Amino acid sequence: MKKPMPDIHCSMTERLEIAGLVAGQIAHDFNNLLTPLLAYPDLIRHEIKPNPAVNEYLSIIEKTATEMQHLTQKLLTLARRGRLGNEVFCANEVIVQVIQALQANIPHGITVKYELADNLLNIAGSRAHLYSVLENLCQNALDAMGLSGTLTIKTENVYLDAPVRSYGDVSVGEYVKITLLDTGVGIPEDMREAIFVPFFTTKSATKKRGSGLGLSIVHGIVKDYRGYVDLDSILGQGATFYLYFPVVKEAPRAETVRLLSKETECLPVVNDHLFGAGKRLVPRILLVDDEPMIRKLFGMIITSEFHEALIDQATDGVEAVEAFSKECHDLIIMDLQMPGQDGRESFFEIQRICQNHQWSPPPIIFCTGFTPSESLAEIIQNSSLHCLLRKPIKAELLLEAVRRRLQK
């Protein structure tokens, strides 16, 4: 007697959850390891005389680290599933952005056609996540077509009242349907369900590098939107992917002026030793990270330009709050993900200390490879005082952020 076939969607969901957990565990450490590979080349160039051969070696290190960074970003996208945000937007805008970004890598023999509905309804979620979905599908289509072919992208409003193929049922209602059609090699029938499983890839057969994460990310994000993904393919004649996203009647929100909470409002400068107020002759900077290697590297980067800067270090959020309460640093560079008290909690504690002592809040450069919480992201977005740098961080990017904040 044959065993019943397993529910492929249940199995796929479980695998995606496991892959997301694994990705979340390794991504933070992986980004910390990549940071020196991207930052040290700039420091080395400043320390040695011009040397074409050495510069070429350093460029190879940077290029390799950048490629590794792209892979890490895929892992992070997989780990961040379920945190869509609440943006209301038109998918047409994201489609145009994706094609513009890929334009430089599209061979001359490939034509990209648009058939975008003028009256397309809005969807709600994360622009960045939809961008990742479309980027992965477009890149797969380009790889499948090689040097010639046609990629067609369509959008339309549809009403679903019957199950999409391969789904048992659907929520009845209005959806935005995005169709991506290519004229590539197609997908064999026996692979059409496996392609959405994490780490499954066919690129090894064609000697191309592939992580096997792209389509699992597509499936996971569309699922988080409460949408559906389906495909048709004829071997040798191309593949067509269909994406369905539930619509929202809400209009995109205009940029609003956010009233700062008590924890983030700007207080008058009454502590007379602040560098920004011109009383302290050299800046005092606090580096907060649970990785000693990162603290050492950031300290070297900062002192390469700010030679007399006083650098203090903290290994976690609790130490950071203690150090700031004693020294009232002019600038804090803080990791967001740390054991125990994280960067977000430390930020609000530091704000409360400033209120209690009537100190001016210090600028904070947050460093992370993950997406910050909505409350912290809103503070960063609406304040020129603070900023967010995504790991891995190049030396010049960190220095530019430091310069801007010490000049305020």
Binned average pLDDT, 10 residues per bin, the chain of 408 residues: 45 57 66 85 86 90 81 65 70 92 86 92 89 88 91 95 74 94 83 54 47 66 86 88 91 43 30 43 92 93 93 95 94 91 92 92 89 73 85 90 88
Continuous segment of H or E residues that includes residue 331: strand 331-335
Query: For 303-318, how does the pLDDT look when each residue is reduced to its tens digit (9 = 90+)?
Result: 999 999 999 999 999 9
The pLDDT assigned to 6 comes to: 43
**Which of 268, 314, 322 minimizes the C-alpha distance to 295?**
314
The pLDDT assigned to 19 comes to: 58
- Asked if the 87-248 domain carries CATH number 3.40.50.150, the reply is no
Structure tokens at 359: 């100190």
The pLDDT assigned to 105 comes to: 79
Sign for the CA dihedral angle at 68, 71, 75, 77 comes to positive
**Pairing relation of β-strands 284-288 and 331-335?**
parallel
The pLDDT assigned to 15 comes to: 57
The pLDDT assigned to 369 comes to: 75
Class in CATH terms, 284-406:
alpha beta
Query: For 257-302, how does the pLDDT look when each residue is reduced to its tens digit (9 = 90+)?
Result: 232 222 323 323 333 334 444 446 789 999 999 999 999 999 999 9
* Rg of the chain taking only CA atoms, in angstroms: 25
Contact by Cβ (8 Å): 298, 383? no
User: Helix (H, G, I), strand (E, B), or coil: what is residue 281?
Assistant: coil
Locate the domains of the chain by residue range: 8-79, 87-248, 284-406
**Tokens 């900062």, residue?**
302
CB atoms within 10 A of CB 97: 15
C-alpha atoms less than 13 angstroms from C-alpha of 236 in its C-beta half-sphere = 0
Cα–Cα distance, 120 to 265 (Å, whole number): 40
CB atoms within 10 A of CB 8: 13
Cα–Cα distance, 316 to 149 (Å, whole number): 53
The pLDDT assigned to 111 comes to: 92
The CATH architecture of the domain made up of 8-79 is Orthogonal Bundle (1.10)
Phi-psi region of 42 (alpha: psi -120 to 50; beta: other; left: phi over 0): alpha
The pLDDT assigned to 272 comes to: 36
The pLDDT assigned to 92 comes to: 95
Cα–Cα distance, 270 to 129 (Å, whole number): 44
